[in-house]
Structure 1
Amino acid sequence: MKPVFAKILDGKINDIYGLKVIDLPYFSTDFHFHEECQLTYTIESEGSVMIGDSIANFNNDELIFVGSNLPHVWHNSKQYFKDELINSHARSVSLFIHPEKILHIFREPENIQRLKNFFLLGKRGMKFGLKTKTALSNLLIKAVQETEEIRILIVVLEILNLLCHTKDYHLLSSPGYTNNYQLKDNDKMDKILKYIFDNFNKVILLDEAADMCHMNKHAFCRYFKSRTQKTFVTFVNEVRIGHACKLLTETDQQISDLAYCCGFNNLSNFNKFFKMAKGVTPRSYRKMLWAN
């Protein structure tokens, strides 16, 4: 799934920041990136989220910051696209901020450096902890409810101030991640990533993935790694582990059964890859959750 370059604020009367509210049966955005930073509060929805080279599951009540030109997509679980799930919703509130134009307002070095550092760090993507998430989500909702432009601006400045001072977050993409996607890329990545997200719980063969993109296996591996900075096998397993974490959190399903539900063909492989990704075994991960 190649990321499409998107123009978010271009041509708007207020091209420094913008607000967007989504209330649909499912998120329909393609894998994309844009100059504007994006702060998104997911009110209601679930599925997989890809931010740079980070792949994880998302759920209700999550807040994520996406830095400038960082590829990203929220992709809903398969059941959202089925006719019988007529009451499903994808609801979110997003604030888009053009970093260069915001920084231009605060020209003096003592006013700009903290904000500049935040925008730089935000290029890896951030997910916020409970305290900061609650404060920021309340401000986002307040901003979309305001009707006067000056009041919206005041709320936006409050959000920026909080972002600059909080340490209640963890970074998503790896330190060395860079956006290697090009606008001239065809739809190979778009096709293969959607396929992985929708079929991770089944057998996914490298040969079949390469055939989908009309490439030989070796060329496909080079292409995939150059774009995602991960091998194909690692990427698929990280999608599976993300879903496993969701099941470990939300159910008391037997770990052996859970492994097969996530697409692993045996418990040993599941335990090995889970520990590589999370640093603990699935059983220890669940105990830590229940202890809290």
Structure 2
Amino acid sequence: MMKSLQFSVPADTNKSIRIQEDIMPNFYPYFHRHTETQIMWILKGHGTLAIEQNLFNFEAGDIFYLGANQSHVFRGNFEKNEKQKVHSISIFFDPHKKIAAFFDLPEFEELKNFISHSEVGFQVASRLTKSIGENIAALQKTKGVDQIIDFIRILNHLMQNRHLHIPLSPEKKLPDHISDTDKRIIDAQTFIKKNFTQHKLTLDLIAKEACMTPQAFCRSFKKRTRITYIEYLNELRVQRACRLLTASSMYSISSVAFNSGFNSLTNFNRVFKSIMKYSPKEYLKHYKEATIQQ
């Protein structure tokens, strides 16, 4: 299990849901989890979402449904001359607490099952983000009964279109219409996730696993994931490095690098800083400070 901070969402004793708008220089930089389910609409910012052992690119306009206690972190990916600014609106709710009485009604049985089956999370289908985003924005302006009714409408809209969403977990069944090339890339991603700590993992080996030439694999991988295979591989390795760094003081930085799949400490430091914006030592220092604050 990923080492992550247990984050406490500020509670409002007078409300069943919490709506939180964040305008900041960057996203919260540490793997964390919370007992509440979160629906997050990203108005400004782009980068990579790391959730459990999975990685997803995101951009402004995307909406994510994150299940309770899913370890995750949104990492901004800004160019050197780009103004760093993120803007998001999140809805936090716990379907097992204050709002639970709604889902126990007979008419809500289908919605209750949808929420239960969505615990692994999903990215909202792109064709729905405009309408769902508008509904989230409107939700901020309502109160009391109207706000709860509008919130239920958002959940119902998501449920009615559940076949369109992108699961955030590999355990989810793939849609029947997936292409052969996409299936090969998904199989390659699974292979990479199982073997990314191996130093002998090469492009030729991965392409062979996908039954493709290296050139065709690279083109298809980037087309489907919007990142190169080496970027994907490095993200996984750095994610593991973060987990090892924060899990125990027994690991030296060189040991973390080796056990995360890097062949040299120099390369590890360079890649880690390019992704996390901190050196491994700086990251660990900031993580410990954040842990104490929690």
Displacement, 1:107?
A: 2.6
Q: Percent identity at matched positions?
A: 23
Residue 113 of structure 2: aligned partner: 117
Residue 54 of structure 1: aligned partner: 54
Query: Aligned partners of 1:275 and 1:123: how far apart in 2?
Result: 33
Residue 8 of structure 1: aligned partner: 9
User: Cα–Cα, structure 1 residues 121 and 53, in superposed 2: closer, same or farther, change >3 Å?
Assistant: farther
Letter of the structure 2 residue corresponding to residue 74 of structure 1: F
**Residue deviations 1:198-248 (CA, integer Å, cap 9, x gap):** xxxxxxxxxxxxxxxxxxxxxxxxxxxxxxxx55x53799xxxxxxxxxxx
Query: Aligned partners of 1:124 and 1:75: how far apart in 2?
Result: 20
Residue 96 of structure 2: aligned partner: 100
User: Cα–Cα, structure 1 residues 89 and 272, in superposed 2: closer, same or farther, change >3 Å?
Assistant: farther
Residue 35 of structure 2: aligned partner: 35
Letter of the structure 1 residue corresponding to residue 63 of structure 2: L
Contact conserved, 1:40 with 1:95, CA < 8 A, in 2?
yes
SS of match in other structure, 2:119: helix
Query: Aligned partners of 2:43 and 2:84: how far apart in 1?
Result: 12
Contact conserved, 1:275 with 1:282, CA < 8 A, in 2?
no
**Residue deviations 1:15-54 (CA, integer Å, cap 9, x gap):** 4211111111111242111121101111111222112221
Query: Aligned partners of 1:15 and 1:275: how far apart in 2?
Result: 54
Query: Aligned partners of 2:124 and 2:198: how far apart in 1?
Result: 25
Displacement, 1:140?
A: 0.8
Residue 154 of structure 2: aligned partner: 159
Supply the RMSD in Å over aligned alpha carbons: 3.3
Contact conserved, 2:28 with 2:73, CA < 8 A, in 1?
no
Contact conserved, 1:46 with 1:58, CA < 8 A, in 2?
yes
TM-score under structure 1 length normalisation: 0.58
Displacement, 1:270?
A: 6.5
User: Cα–Cα, structure 1 residues 275 and 30, in superposed 2: closer, same or farther, change >3 Å?
Assistant: farther
Alignment of 1:132-143 (within 5 A): 132-143=128-139
User: Cα–Cα, structure 1 residues 53 and 35, in superposed 2: closer, same or farther, change >3 Å?
Assistant: same
Displacement, 1:283?
A: 2.6
Contact conserved, 1:124 with 1:174, CA < 8 A, in 2?
no
The number of residues matched between the two structures is 199
Query: Aligned partners of 2:137 and 2:52: how far apart in 1?
Result: 26
Residue 196 of structure 2: aligned partner: 234
User: Cα–Cα, structure 1 residues 124 and 106, in superposed 2: closer, same or farther, change >3 Å?
Assistant: closer
Contact conserved, 1:47 with 1:58, CA < 8 A, in 2?
yes
Q: Which runs of 5+ in 1 are unaligned?
A: 177-229, 238-263
TM-score under structure 2 length normalisation: 0.58
Alignment of 1:65-84 (within 5 A): 65-77=65-77, 79=78
Query: Aligned partners of 1:272 and 1:17: how far apart in 2?
Result: 49
User: Cα–Cα, structure 1 residues 70 and 166, in superposed 2: closer, same or farther, change >3 Å?
Assistant: same
Query: Aligned partners of 2:160 and 2:104: how far apart in 1?
Result: 19
SS of match in other structure, 2:96: helix
Tell me: higher relative CO, structure 1 or 2? Use CA pairs within 8 A at least 6 residues apart: 1
Alignment of 1:175-190 (within 5 A): 175=171
